[in-house]
A = this chain, B = another copy of it.
């Protein structure tokens, strides 16, 4: 069972998902979850203990979607519900005032899905053929648009966790999505800031930022006719990398079919440069897009953010919300531009 509780000091909704939980005593330091097997393994066959490998389909909840070359053939990409969901379609969606005025909660209505990127247990996304990366991005959009048909869901957060320091415990390459019944505060903030900018100038803040980064060139990592990868001027952490469309578009759900190939090509190069340059760092990847109903507004540009987990936010960052970045993005960009991934 999941619920959301409202934090009146920050106006955040916090997801409580005790079914994902270890019990309190299991959170002790000596009782951390098992570490995943090393990413250095080069097993390309099905791993008996991996629920995402072929032949182990019975260990996942019922399949939601799959890509197959022919019906009943082997799958290439597979989407299943998360076995320990943060939010679930079956949960309620009512807001409830408790007896005390500050204590408000609502049902944990939402969705939490896993997108298994490949049947192969150990092939990193950047090492996949570009066709497979393209298929994955198409599958992500397909799930994104399908879930938005449910009017209870306000945003769909698409993300990938790679490596233990990025919060994943399963080695088999996978992405995830969570559909939320409220617009998360960080997204509300970004939209409010971008709306203000649009109201004042008539321009999309993100398109303007992209164009300024393109004109200075210093923080541009790589680009093609349709997309640009930059390390933003005010990156919050070392080697933070954004992939932005060259054409304005608010929602990832509206990306045209012919743009998936150039996006896959650029994403693959960026991931490989990080993989080689930083020796397979843990990272999170998120797709940032507008909430339901804002698709036709022109103040936000959907984009991908990749955040290598190279440092640990500590007390200062937690207490202030302010980031300390030890690497200037123009130096990081220069370093990554020199990384050869053509081989």
Interface residues of A (CB under 8 A from B): 5-18, 20-22, 24-25, 27-31, 86, 100-103, 155, 157-161, 164-168, 176, 178, 180, 184-187, 189-190, 193-194, 197, 205-206, 208-209, 212, 215-216, 232-236, 238-239, 277-282, 284-288, 305, 307-308, 310-316, 318-328, 331-332, 335
Contacts and interface: CB of A to CB of B under 8 A. Distances in A.
A86 B311 CA distance: 14
Contact of A14 (B102, B235, B314): B235
Which of A25, A30, A286, A326 is packed against the most chain B CB atoms within 10 Å? A326
B328 A16 contact: yes
Contacts of A331: 18, 24
Copy total for this chain: 2
A100 B215 contact: yes
Nearest to A206: B9
A331 B325 CA distance: 36
B212 A322 contact: no
B14 A234 contact: yes
A178 B209 CA distance: 30
A316 B176 contact: yes
Nearest to A169: B312
B103 A12 contact: no
Which of A157, A288, A310, A318 is packed against the most chain B CB atoms within 10 Å? A318
